[in-house]
Chains A and B, each alone.
Chain A
Amino acid sequence: MSALAHPRGAGPAWLREGAEAFLSRYAGLRARLPGDALRREAGAAAFRAHGLPGVRDEAWHYTSLRAFAETRFAEPLTPVADCGALMARLPAIAAPRLVFVDGRFRDDLSVVPGQVAVRVGGPAYGALARPEGEPLVALNTMLAEDGATIEVAAGAAGGTLLLASLGTGGPAERPAAFHPRHAVRLAAGASLTLIEVAIGNGAYLHNPVLEISLGAGARLEHLRLQDESHAAFHLSTLYADIAEAATYDSFALVLGGRLSRLDVHARLGGPRATAHLNAAQVLGGSQHGDFTTVVRHDAASCASRQTVKNVLTGRAHGVFQGKIEVARDAQKTDGYQMSQALLLSPDAEINCKPQLEIFADDVKCSHGATVGELDAEQIFYLRSRGIGESTARAMLVRAFLAEALDPISDDAGRAALEAAVEDWWRRQAA
């Protein structure tokens, strides 16, 4: 089959043409791309078969990829030397760090950890990703150049590790595209705090896939800061497989990107496993941010918790799609999902779609959603104490976000996210 064969599907021309552009890049690059050629070819076959998703695909109903599909990207071939200004924007956390620039590992900028085994050099394909079901995972599998495998041995405390992506931005007419492929594996009883940061300048596509496996009783605290350039596309997919009594505790803060989507697939595979998929999106201008989760309860007595907050100004568009699937044997499931959105301007928009698919009969699953403006009574209370209106409003928005950030147990990580929010405020005010 030719790499230029037309993808199936009756989507609009721009969608087909966008997919074809990636396939033709792949045709030119594939001889040079490292790693498992069979996996890569399987990814390409899936991408060829399904193409890019359109708004008629149920999972993409609220997020149009049009602007992305109409952009012609180039996979960068030469590494960028100077990243000083971007490096300075990374959170000041005293921890080992793995730094990727335009999707490639940079030894010179990284500090490789002691307690954690790290392998780099080529994509870290794992067993969890499903390119046939996720078009952007297929795209990643097809074009991935690099990635890290991060492993913590049984019972070991891995400490804190920073995983950073720096996008340097290509020429405006041909932005860079990079598709890093990472794997994190915690053996039984191991622990790790992973702080993932994505920042950049100018236009680019960052399309990472991260596959996380947690052994029995393992614990991963995963803090994610998506603070990409406002001209960038951030389309990430994460898979987490959580074994018996293991905990995946994640919080994603989305501030950046022109078009952003965080897809999270978490599977609670053993009894008493726990997943927290919390997020806050703070968006302005014409930013679009989509947080989509699928939590699958495959074992009994597992708990999943999701609190997702959106603060939207300008013409920003926020999306939260949360699906909870409970298998027949997953009795005593405890699933909770809450979406809270604060719309600070009349043109801001939020779409929230909860979905519950329950096949067991002894479960507790709840979901809720609130959408609102700032509370007039709260504003008056603050003003009646002498606090000016704009300060009062800012205090209440911060308070709304503080409720999301306060429960983060890792102090350094929480401080980094709080600093990023404060930075966002300064940029808004400027």
Chain B
Amino acid sequence: MLEIKGLTAGIDGKPILHGIDLVVPDGEVHAIMGPNGSGKSTLSYVLAGRDGYAVTGGTATFDGHDLLAMAPEQRAVAGVFLAFQYPVELPGVGNANFLRTALNALRRARGEAELDAMQFLKLARAEAKRLSMPEDMLKRNVNVGFSGGEKKRNEVLQMAILRPRLAILDETDSGLDIDALRIVADGVNALRGPTTSALVITHYQRLLDHIVPDRVHVLAGGRIIRSGGPELAHELEAGGYAAVVADAA
């Protein structure tokens, strides 16, 4: 599904990614772990198409299509979803209106019929309920006045409604209490299937107790320095990043 080869990228002329090689096959969940400043968020933004990040080399394809050549909305239409580390507040934009506009944009691009307000609300309420989210979150402005945990849950709600084929979760676990963590994990696990994949970017192993990854990659200094099975996350938790980074050097 996702194939990254020799990807180098930076911001403001400062190189951050120094050659990423990563393949996420259909149906697999991969975790990317790494210390602060290793390039985790840069990788997620480059994959989602945020302005300001310059790709200086390498390729990233999604189902064989050049992901880096697509506009951000085209990537979303193709099935890529980024759960933001810091979800953006949109004062004056109602959450339900935002979600419906997004869902209908995707449906339109895929040649599917758009949902009217009633059909959409029915769907959104059911998803909100499944994620144990209060229904009034749909009525409020997008992320405005939300707590940190509510913002993260709202990302998962968007993901549940938009049903991406590749979900990239950028430190979605940061700032979550254990109950919220479980809700987020349940949301991701509900999406798992033979044709959907996830890239879970995290600093800590604890999210991976709930979303068990097929592969774990360690990102340090803009490179993947080690890959392994789920046991690698436990090793990192026990020994810290320093030992792994030192081994690889």
Contacting residues, chain A, for B48 (C-beta < 8 A): 384
Number of A residues whose C-beta is below 8 Å from B? 23
Which residues of A340-388 are within 8 A (CB) of B?
376-378, 380-388
Q: How far is the CA of A376 from the CA of B52 in the complex (A)?
A: 10
Given that A376-B51, A380-B51, A380-B72 are known contacts, is A387 also in contact with B101, CB under 8 Å in the complex? yes
Q: How far is the CA of A383 from the CA of B98 in the complex (A)?
A: 11
CB-based contact B102/A385 at 8 Å? yes
Could you say which of B73, B87, B162 contacts A383, with CB atoms under 8 Å apart?
B73
Shortest C-beta distance, B26 to chain A (Å), equals 21
Residue of B87, B102, B141 ringed by the most chain A CB atoms within 10 A: B102
Chain A interface main SS type: helix
Contacting residues, chain B, for A67 (C-beta < 8 A): none
> A400: CB under 8 A from chain B?
yes
Our count of residue pairs bridging A and B at CB distance below 8 angstroms stands at: 75
Contacting residues, chain B, for A391 (C-beta < 8 A): 101, 105
Shortest C-beta distance, B90 to chain A (Å), equals 6
Binds A, one of B8-16, B76-84, B230-238: B76-84
CB-based contact B76/A383 at 8 Å? yes
Contacting residues, chain A, for B73 (C-beta < 8 A): 383-389
Contacting residues, chain B, for A381 (C-beta < 8 A): 84, 87-88, 90
- The digit string for B88-104, where 1 denotes a CB below 8 A from any CB of A, is 10111100001001100
> A111: CB under 8 A from chain B?
no
Shortest C-beta distance, A364 to chain B (Å), equals 24
CB-based contact B162/A385 at 8 Å? yes
> B158: CB under 8 A from chain A?
yes
Shortest C-beta distance, B73 to chain A (Å), equals 5
Contacting residues, chain B, for A396 (C-beta < 8 A): 90, 92-93
CB-based contact A387/B105 at 8 Å? yes
Q: How far is the CA of A401 from the CA of B106 in the complex (A)?
A: 26
Closest to B52 in A: A376
CB-based contact A385/B158 at 8 Å? yes
- Chain A interface residues (CB < 8 Å from chain B): 376-378, 380-389, 391, 395-396, 398-403, 406
Instruction: Identify the 6 closest CB pairs spanning chains A and B, nearest first.
Output: A399-B92, A386-B76, A385-B102, A383-B72, A381-B88, A402-B92
